[in-house]
Amino acid sequence: MDNLWIAALKPVDRKRLEPHLHETQFRQGDLIYDVGQAVDEVWFPVAGVVSLMTVLPEDRLVETAAIGREGLVGVTCGPLNARAASRAIAQIAGSAFCCPAEVFSDALAESESMRVALAKFTEGLFAQVQQTAACNAQHRLDERLARWLLTLHDRADAARFDLTQADIAGMLGVRRATVSEVGSALENRKLIKRGRGWVEVLDRPALESAACGCYHSIRGVMKDLRLPLPKPPKD
């Protein structure tokens, strides 16, 4: 399986990176980097999902973006080699190709086309962050939960993925009891199925109808920027 951002580069640009890539596995809950850490590697997921988290007082967390095989992690928190302004956590287990940050920086300096590709990705990611912030402030929790599950489903390898109520509550910034109530509502409509530590998407079209418009707005920006769009797993 490939990272779509790397696959979309020109062959000459891919050759700048490929000799320096090494594959790393990550488990659900693994910390990729934390706020204030120097980012010394760029991660290109090929499976799984990494969540970018905003850290609030009392170490509360809210997800502001999700990145899968369509993107990269490690250059969106500030200039290369800067300290991270967000926390990156593995939301769904997977793997990534990793590249030293200084190698990636040198490749950018040598290639205008790679700089353009990175600028498009960061613009798309910024749109996701903005839309998610507005969504969290304005939309009902059932709509937000549907939108978030669709975002993960796009980037997962199967309709069923590991998630606990605590995971969902942490991502959406709400209480576990509230997640249980809203999750039950989606389950009663046969949009999803839940078990101990997992969620399965049963009716993708109906889940899209249940979500707020933020999901399609974010994908619309990616399409306009001609970014690779993550797609849900086939049945």
Domain residue extents for the chain: 4-113, 135-224
Asked whether this chain's domains 4-113 and 135-224 adopt the same fold, the reply is no
Compute mean pLDDT per 10 residues along the chain, 235 residues long, and list them.
92 96 96 89 95 82 90 71 82 95 91 95 92 89 92 90 84 79 91 92 95 94 91 75
For residue 80, what pLDDT is reported? 54
d(CA 22, CA 206): 39
- Radius of gyration (Cα) for the chain, nearest Å? 17
DSSP per-residue letters across 46-74: EEEEEEEEEEEGGGEEEEEEEE-TTS-BS
Q: For the segment 179-195, what is each residue's pLDDT rounded down to a tens digit?
A: 888 889 999 999 999 98
**Does domain 4-113 correspond to CATH entry 3.40.50.2300?**
no
**Does domain 135-224 correspond to CATH entry 3.40.50.11900?**
no
Q: For the segment 68-86, what is each residue's pLDDT rounded down to a tens digit?
A: 999 999 886 444 556 788 8
Whether this model's pTM surpasses 0.95 = no
Q: For the segment 78-110, what is each residue's pLDDT rounded down to a tens digit?
A: 445 567 888 999 999 999 999 998 899 899 999
